[in-house]
Structure 1
């Protein structure tokens, strides 16, 4: 399952909506209900081959196999860890790689049932936004993922793990809002009754701060959640580590978040990776607390994950706890997320970076 035919690249069924398939069936002279049958095999029954679609006529199965791939991803590798976090590496039709991470809920940290699972999904191959601490953009930006490649990660993760994914976070490789239209097409597939039928409230999109798209999502009718990769409470700090801040300063970003709050009921989440001697100063904590309290936002604090090729260092546990305590004492809901999967190249893009470097697709990034 999830193998790509080597001879040619065809459109994947995982990228088609019910309307797309209905139009195709009409063109082929097939009854309209065939579209629903096909999508049921793809998303509900998780068919691995066209031959498994036994309620379709053989001639229709043959024609689908001639004109379409069943899946857009080829499973390349799975890395598991002692805490049952798993990272999946997928090969794409053009030889590039993308990764997803399946994370079990930790009731001690999140207050959720331990049988709940969150999948971190990628939206691009590489990233153009160049956050200085992130592995995703070390080799630059290659291309946007197509809807079939985005939604296909969820289907593949469920098939490979044998487990239902309860929540999705679009905060893997890439800047999701830089691929907005394809991302929203994938979300339609993921949330539709004919697709994975996962409620929009179980989806979170993370952005480094693309202000126009924040406002655009605020006007979208689905109740999708929003997380901001903030990582600095002031322009001085964000300018140092997040090039996006040179285009949209914190004042513009927070104005967009005020607009979000005026349109949506879901609380914002502010993601904040703690990096020693960069953004872990306790004055940053006090400024962050002021922003979070005004925005009624939750804060996720994440000690920095070591990335090969980068010199950043995670703060001591005592410093991380002191930073968190300032937020909590200010009345902010703050979680210090002692990350899962630290033994499986946990930082976004690391596994893909290693694989593409080994294959000579990209050059090893220079250190610094």
Structure 2
């Protein structure tokens, strides 16, 4: 879909359609095709006159967005690689939760915000790829629409936890989230939309001023500075005390809980010292710690911590009043690490 057309609100679209000599009700029809039916071509707008469709096509040529590859896990997770108009590839994941009768009760989509990522986190397959460009709001929305159509089930939750650092693409990400939240679009509750950042302080501060009640998650991965600098070198210039202060300010301003994501890596960030540092970091914060299972990344030396360690961390954190959970690994049998499938495909295509 064309990014500029998708970002026009109904009033602006009405003004445009009337300036072309068409009745104003046509704008509402077009708006419904774009934001409720999520059409992928102007030809699908069956109740819009051909002359108007042609005018739209000339003024707002559509960018291609095509399925390049799809894998389906035994647990129902589907991992997609989409090809964009410039032949770049981007990953998206659909994660269904099933009821006792086998029907989908909840469908979560993990979307990417950039092609590649500039953050260079040492445990991340996407970080090894490097950064190419930001995604447009349209490309974020189309990821959700494609997954919803593929599952033939309404998307209930969004997590911007795929490839890229969303706060480095702030305007486009926010525009996409507002569309996903709108009752004229996907109508997904703001609290069911989560943005995950490496902890960019300026982005956190800006996000705290948005009126929507979107959820914030921060990739922490270590509460000892040297270890975090090793794992996440691009945020080494932001000391942990400053990050904690930014989160405290965010919580005070929004009255919303923050999720701290922590990837437990054997022999790297899973010692008692690291556990005590995390307990200290959480002290005074309205937060939830999400311990993450690690999907091994080809070429990376890291291995997941043992379940004994995970259980111990959970027990100690809960003992100190820190709400803690462990995210269930999804899609581990289908190149589960972020960027892994795409990188394999790129490697295959360039051989």
Class of the TM-score when normalised by the shorter of the 2 chains? over 0.9
Are the counterparts in 2 of residues 26 and 32 from structure 1 also a CA contact under 8 Å? yes
1:68 — aligned with what?
Answer: 60
Q: Quick one: structure 1 residues 48 and 125, their matched pair in 2 at CA, closer, same or farther if it must change by over 3 Å?
A: closer
Is the 8 Å Cα contact of residues 121 and 170 (structure 1) preserved in structure 2?
A: yes
Query: Which is further off, 268-277 or 239-248?
Result: 239-248
Map 1:312-327 to 2 at 5 A. Answer: 312-327=302-317
Choose from 26, 35, 43 the match for 1:34.
26
Distance in 2 (alpha carbons) for counterparts of 1:47 and 1:338:
34
User: Displacement of 1:70 after TM fit?
Assistant: 5.2
After superposition, give the CA deviation of every residue in 1:346-365 in whole Å (9 maximum; x if it has no partner).
111111111222222xx9xx
Deviation digits for residues 184-232 of structure 1 (CA, Å, limit 9, x no counterpart): 1212222223222222221111100100110111011111110000000
* Partner residue in 2 for 1:52: 44
Q: Is the 8 A contact 2:256 2:286 kept in 1?
A: no
- Gapped regions of structure 2 (runs ≥ 5): none
1:25 and 2:17 correspond? yes
- Name the structure 1 match of 2:173: 183
Equivalenced residues, count? 348
- CA shift, 1:47, in A, is 3.4
**Offset from partner CA, 1:137-181 (integer Å, 9 cap, x none):** 212100000111111111111111111111111110000001011
- The residue aligned with 1:249 is 239
| Equivalent residue for 1:287, pick from 277, 293, 300 | 277
Mapped to 2, the partners of 1:342 and 1:315 lie a distance apart of 16
Separation (CA, whole Å) in 1 of partners of 2:114 and 2:288: 26
The residue aligned with 1:146 is: 136
TM-aligned CA distance change 1:100 to 1:17, over 3 Å: farther
3-state SS in 2 of match to 1:138:
helix
RMSD value over aligned CA atoms? 2.1
- Cα 1:69–1:90 shift into 2, 3 Å: farther
With 10-19 and 40-49 compared, the bigger mean Cα shift is at 10-19
- Match of 1:200? 190
Corresponding residue of 2:120: 130
Question: Which consecutive residues of structure 1, in runs of 5 or more, have no partner in the other structure?
Answer: 3-9, 108-112, 364-368
Local SS of the residue matching 1:136: helix
1:171 aligns with 2:158: no
CA offsets 1:328-362 (integer angstroms, 9 cap, x no match): 222211112231110111111111111222222xx
**Is 213-222 or 292-301 further displaced after alignment?**
292-301
**Contact in 2 for aligned 1:270/1:300 (Cα 8 Å):** yes
For residues 347-362 of structure 1, the aligned pairs below 5 Å read 347-360=337-350
